[in-house]
Structure 1
Amino acid sequence: GVDQWPLNQHPLASGPFMLENWDYSHALTLARNPRYSGTPAHLDRVMFRIIKEPAARILALEAGELDFVADISPHDAARLEMNPDLEIKSTHGRRFYYLQWNCRNPRLADAGTRRALSLALDRERMMETLLDGYATPAVSPIAQVLWNHADHLAPDPYDPPQARRLLREAGWLPDEADGVLRRDGLPLQLEILTRTGDPVRRDGAVIIRENLQAVGVSVTIRTLELAAGLELVNAGNFDVYFGSMTPNLYGDPSSAIHSDAIDEFNDGFYSNDQVDALLEKALGTLDREEAKPYWFALQEILQADPPAAYLFCPQRLDAVSRRIRNIRPHVLSPVNNLSEWWIAPEDRKYRTGAAP
């Protein structure tokens, strides 16, 4: 098969580095490419070591055996920040966590109720508790790092009094017996569905339940394996889904919010004619500057008539030895400018041309 082709073990190189050695399952070494026509890489060679266990990677970094570890946990980052020999590089990512409302549920069918519930959520507490503060609040399904994100919009604040006012305006009144909100005899009773294996969602669901209960919502949590949970979501058999999403790079959320995207990722059956029209105008406008007003207006509508409560965007965290200079991680890659990394002579561990 293709995976056995010799070329895969000796790939051609047209960039600043070329493959020098590949020790399967252990390490891969790149060397400066002498035939590269652009600016030569500053480093003679770079070794990528394969260490499967995150804890082992961190220990190797602290022992000086590694100079760079990508995508570390917030807990590790908070501890490594105190190490004077190390630096934490944080990069805004595309992924965000959200609560998907099922708009076919009569409890969630109106925008006022969904907007009120979003205002009941303490995003700052979630970011501090779940991610040690290494996150930013989410505003819309268009990530902060993308060109058409509406920077002028503020994230929904934590405002329980306003949430209660909006719920009252939407017709929800507390029951004298148990304090749970009811409208036309229907209790505001919601089940939050989420997946196993993600501590952020496991612990975040507890905070969300507490926030919503504080404004009169009866909340239960249901945790399932990913496949089983998504089967329920795709079938529409859920109230609220606590999920995460990594949007596409070109800033088009149509698959999650257009009324024709029910068979894609519009799992909450959201429908808004203005949203559909703005999506079509924005996507039909090739000039980015001319398209931005449509994208911005779209996100303003999504804040007033939310298909989901957009919660927070985790930062990608990379740990680096201070002896490595000019590391600039990018949203697409932590080693984005690898050819520009350099080490001062007094910080070098190895002779020029010598492998570690």
Structure 2
Amino acid sequence: MTSQTLSRLAAAWFTAAAFATAGPVFAGEPLRVGATYITSGTDPAKGSNGWALVSHGVGENLFTVDRDGKLVPELAEKAERIADLTWTVTLKPGRLFSDDTPVTAKALAAGFDTTFANNKAALATGGKLSFEAVDDLTLKVTTEKPVPFIQALFAEWPLIAYKPTEAGNAVFSGPYRISAFKTDASITLEPNVHFAGADQRSPVNFRKFGDAQTLTLALEAGELDMAFGLPSEVVSRLKTHPDLTIKSFPVGYQYLAFFNTARPLMADVKVRRAIDLAFDRKELAAAINGGEPATGAYAAYFPFAGQEARPTDLARAGALLDEAGWARGSGGMREKGGTPLRLLVITYPQRPDLVTMLPVVKAELAKIGIAVDTQVVENIQQVASGGDFDIALWAQHTAPSGDAAFFLNSMLRSGASLNYAKYASPDFDAILDRFATEGDPAKRVAIALDAQQKIFADAPASFLVSPVWYVGLSKRLKNYEPWGSDYHVLRADIGETE
């Protein structure tokens, strides 16, 4: 071996050694996490990717809801109103994106501008917002509509904070960064070395499972450290497994049914009211082995939740169908002028409880003479947007920012981008308009209750169950405490337990 060759080898060794020394050192082998959902992409302005990327620990918001349900600052330090439609948001100093550049007002303004130009859900509360960087840590925000609590607006799931790049990508500030992504299959994460405590976190391999049963089998086989969203029917069996810990927790989600008011059979409010009265919420909650019958659009621990149980009344439901001209035929099923009252009910596998509820819903509607076809679809948002359904069983966090308004504005206001029910009511919209100018918490509760009463009367949706969810954990993560529904699955504090 020549001296020249030795010199090259030595140089290469020193280069490799220097790189290894400078590289990040993480805590342990990758955590193996499984769920029935994964972000559909890495573009934070597209669809629900913003929510998923925050759930995966990649992104943050300016404000967020903590484990106690309180609205608290995250990337921001405070927000102050300076005019009717204008606010300033002061950012926390010293925060960095995962590419080692500072989190500045200018960078965030560019990201928010991109989101508002491409994601209609972002418009639900304040309309189109405009942004101006006053200085590095001060962001001036002007809303199209009045917003009493801009902190709650910036905690909404479309408004993930990020910096767009010239290459058309995005850079985030959360405790993890994406190192690999396979569409509809997996996302590989490593700790963001510019987020405090990176050396205490392990990399994460996050896998999507096509159904909850396959997820369960992977957990039992020792392939996962966390299985998020286990089906309730396997919980008793899994609790006997010596190497697993199963934890349950209440969530702010509601299981509900959207009624497609644009479909001929669902256009009649009497038919929709009849269906709402046919649902036995106690039976539905028992079917999924967890949760409580819904009292309205919100989980019971919110101050704006409904206070009375939703009724089940088969006799009244039958009378409404009679009034609507749907008479029972010789087989007991309803028909009008020779046309059967037959509805298509859809749901999706990413929420296994809804799949479990599907045959129960079919049986309950059969009791009042309504025939049902059922379908489980992979991309529920695409199908729902296309309108090819009569009833869609849905899971939705209805107060993700701790405020009642966002769900109602984004999913039930006339013309809203996520209004799958195609519900349009000027009277309902007028109730929602009151949110824009009312800052008193007690009066906002009253507005939310008025809005729910209008929904009960018009029945564009039926609220069914306030669920409990289950998480399966290996010994490595036995101390993990789930909170925040699925908005904060991977967090900075996930850490190691053994």
Global fold match (TM > 0.5): yes
1:118-137 Cα deviation digits (max 9, x unpaired): 221233333433x3x13333
Equivalent position of 1:165 in the other structure: 319
Match of 2:460 in 1: 307
Alpha-carbon displacement from aligned partner over 1:236-278 (angstroms, at most 9, x marks no partner): 45433334434462332222212232xx122222233332111
With 328-337 and 108-117 compared, the bigger mean Cα shift is at 328-337
Counterparts in 2 of 1:155 and 1:86: CA distance versus 1, 3 Å: farther
Who is 2:328 aligned against? 174
- Partner of residue 279, structure 2: 121
Q: Cα deviations across residues 281-303 of structure 1 (Å, max 9, x unaligned)?
A: 12321232221111112112212
Q: Partners of 1:193 and 1:51 in 2: how far apart?
A: 31
- Partner of 1:240 in structure 2? 391
1:101 equivalent in alignment to 2:259: yes
Residue 88, structure 1, aligned to residue 255, structure 2 = no
**1:235 CA displacement:** 4.6
1:189 matched to which residue of 2? Answer: 341
Structure 2 partner of 1:220: 373
Instruction: State how far apart, in whole Å, the 1-side matches of 2:452 and 2:325 are.
Output: 26
| 1:219 to partner: Cα distance | 2.6
Offset, 1:46: 4.9
SS at match of 1:104: coil
Mapped partners of 1:278, 1:293: distance in 2:
10
Aligned to 1:137: 293
In 1: Cα distance, 2:231 partner to 2:237 partner: 10
The CA deviation at 1:225 is 5.1
Secondary structure (helix, strand or coil) at the match of 1:221 reads strand
Alignment-derived partner of residue 222 in structure 2: 60
CA distance 1:179–1:95, shift in 2 (3 Å): same
Describe the shift of the 1:45–1:230 C-alpha distance in structure 2 as closer, same or farther (beyond 3 A).
closer
Please tell me the residue identity of whatever aligns with 1:120.
A
Which of 258, 263, 272 is the aligned partner of 2:413? 258
**Cα distance between partner residues in 2 of 1:267 and 1:300:** 20
Aligned pair partner of 1:211 in 352, 357, 364 = 364
The 3 A distance-change label for structure 1 pair 309 and 9 is: same
Aligned to 1:128, what secondary structure does the other structure show? helix
* Greater relative contact order structure (CA < 8 Å, 6+ sep): 1
**TM-score, length of structure 2 as denominator length:** 0.51
> What CA deviation, in whole Å up to 9, does each residue of 1:36-93 have, x standing for no partner?
7xxxx9xx945455374733344438xxx95x65443434433233357754322223
Does residue 1:338 correspond to 2:496, yes or no? no
Residue aligning to 1:72: 230
Structure 2 match to 1:351: none
Alpha carbons of 1:113 and 1:124: their partners in 2 closer, same or farther (altered >3 Å)?
same
For 2:443 and 2:347, locate their aligned partners in 1 and report how far apart those are by CA, in whole Å.
40
Aligned CA distance change for structure 1 residues 89 and 337 (closer, same or farther; 3 Å): farther
State the superposition RMSD in angstroms: 4.4
- State the AA in 2 paired with 1:280: D
Kept in 2: contact 1:112–1:166 (CA 8 A): yes
Q: 1:318 to 1:297 in 2, by over 3 A?
A: same
Inter-partner Cα distance in structure 2 for 1:218 and 1:70: 34
- 2-structure distance, mates of 1:151, 1:268: 21
Is the 2:252–2:397 contact (alpha carbons within 8 Å) kept by the matching residues of 1?
Answer: yes
Q: How many residues align?
A: 314
- Separation in 1 of the partners of 2:248 and 2:299? 14
Cα 1:186–1:281, aligned 2, differ >3 Å: closer, same or farther? farther
Q: Residues 139 and 155 of structure 1 are in contact (CA less than 8 Å); yes or no, is this contact kept in structure 2? A: yes
Structure 2 vs 1, CA of residues 316 and 151 (structure 1 numbering), >3 Å: closer, same or farther?
same
Shift of 1:26: 8.0
How far 1:211 sits from its partner (Å)? 1.6
Cα distance in 1 between the residues matched to 2:180 and 2:452: 49
Q: State how far apart, in whole Å, the 2-side matches of 1:256 and 1:84 are.
A: 44
Aligned in 2, Cα 1:30/1:85: closer, same or farther, shift over 3 Å?
farther
Change (3 A) 1:156 1:48: farther
Choose which of 435, 450, 462 in structure 2 pairs with 1:282.
435
Secondary structure, counterpart of 1:153 in structure 2? coil
Provide the C-alpha distance between the structure 2 equivalents of 1:88 and 1:102, rounded to a whole number of angstroms: 37
Is 1:113–1:166's contact at 8 Å kept on the other side of the alignment? Answer: yes
TM-score normalised by L of structure 1: 0.67
Seq. identity, %: 20
Q: CA deviation at 1:328?
A: 5.9
- One of 446, 449, 462 as aligned partner of 1:296: 449
Question: Which residue in 1 is equivalent to 2:469?
Answer: 316
Q: Which residue of 2 aligns with 1:354?
A: none
Residue equivalent to 2:308: 153
Gaps of 5+ in 2: 1-41, 44-96, 103-173, 182-186, 210-214
**Residues in 2 aligned to 1:325 and 1:28: alpha-carbon distance in whole angstroms:** 21
SS at match of 2:468: strand
Q: Is the 8 A contact 1:148 1:296 kept in 2?
A: no
Match of 2:131 in 1: none
